[in-house]
Structure 1
Amino acid sequence: MIGHGAWARIAAVAVAIVAFALTAHAADVPFVSGGVGADERQDLLAKEKEYTLKIVVAEDKGDFLADVQVVIEASNKEHILDTTMDGPILLAKLAPGTYTVSATSDGKTQTRTVTIAAGALRQLDFRWPASTPPAAR
């Protein structure tokens, strides 16, 4: 049989575990990505007022890209978002502050610094040279 003191220690450990789990997830950033088709792009554009950062990725000739790896790092160097975009647009809800955003497409990484203000949407555009089709190489 477990005594009262043991239950108190178990409860204290449980509270500590829950507090750690909440802290570990505090860096989670709500985001959505997509925009492959016109309808999906319109849906994202309709939601952009709910977010503070919009990232658009494309080739320099204008063709949209997908499968771009995005890493957002806070000023304390903590990675707060690391994801592969499902389309050319990513919307993220970042707290006010300064962030470093890296986007990688086809092994080529571009990095930008962005300052987010309360209630304002900032946009970052990343462009890469058009890929050479395999048949043309």
Structure 2
Amino acid sequence: MNLMRLRQPMAALVLGGTAAFFGAMTTSAHAFSNPPIQMAQGVEYMCGGTSKDEAAFMQMVSPRWAATLEFGVNDSAQKSSFPARAAVQVRERYTGRPVMEAQSQGPYMLARLDPGAYDVNVTLGGLTLTQPLTVIAGAPARAVFMWPSNFDMASVLPPAPQTQALAHTSGVR
């Protein structure tokens, strides 16, 4: 029996199976793209968490950022409908000097703030919540902003696509 003839098909089978396995892994791994890193007043920040995969990514990388801000509604039924944008303002706690102003684009905002004491104001639908935030070098800081369950989320959510289509066609006769 010629062992060399048996090895070639076996090697092709093993290598082909390995390529298919790694091909499947890279396809699923690339289905999600990281949120972009942005700049506001010289401070790098990243927003996201609107999908399950993106939220898991934001939670995974948050320890590598100086500050994590999390936004939500104190009602589990409304948490999934958190609006895409809330106004975020970071000020030095003792001087009041503005450090960063940006719009969040999801329930998480990660920022590379310098070590220091800050007051963070987040405004959504006319209601501003304020939390203190102390950033220490090498230790990630976190502040959670929870709007009350009776907060009118409908007023700050974008209109449903169905409603937009009806509004757009209602003026045409």
TM-score, with length taken from structure 2: 0.58
1:78-111 Cα distance to aligned partner (Å, 9 max, x none) = 2221111110000011111101100011100011
| Residues 1-137 of structure 1 aligned to structure 2 (within 5 Å) | 27-62=41-76, 63=79, 65=82, 66-75=84-93, 76-130=95-149, 131=152, 133=154
Is there any run of 5+ residues in structure 2 with no aligned partner, and where? 1-38, 156-173
- Alignment partners' CA distance in 1, 2:115 and 2:72: 26
Is there any run of 5+ residues in structure 1 with no aligned partner, and where? 1-24
- Alignment partners' CA distance in 2, 1:83 and 1:70: 5
Q: Could you tell me which amino acid in structure 2 is paired with residue 37 of structure 1?
A: S
- Alignment partners' CA distance in 2, 1:61 and 1:96: 33
What number of residue pairs does the alignment pair up?
Answer: 110
The RMSD of aligned alpha carbons is 2.2
- Residue 49 of structure 1 deviates from its aligned partner by 2.1
Greater shift in the superposed pair: 73-82 or 87-96: 73-82
Higher RCO (CA 8 Å, separation ≥ 6 residues):
1
Identical columns (%): 25
Q: Tell me which structure has the larger Cα radius of gyration.
A: 2
TM-score, with length taken from structure 1: 0.72
Q: CA distance change for structure 1 residues 101 and 33 in 2, over 3 Å: closer, same or farther?
A: same
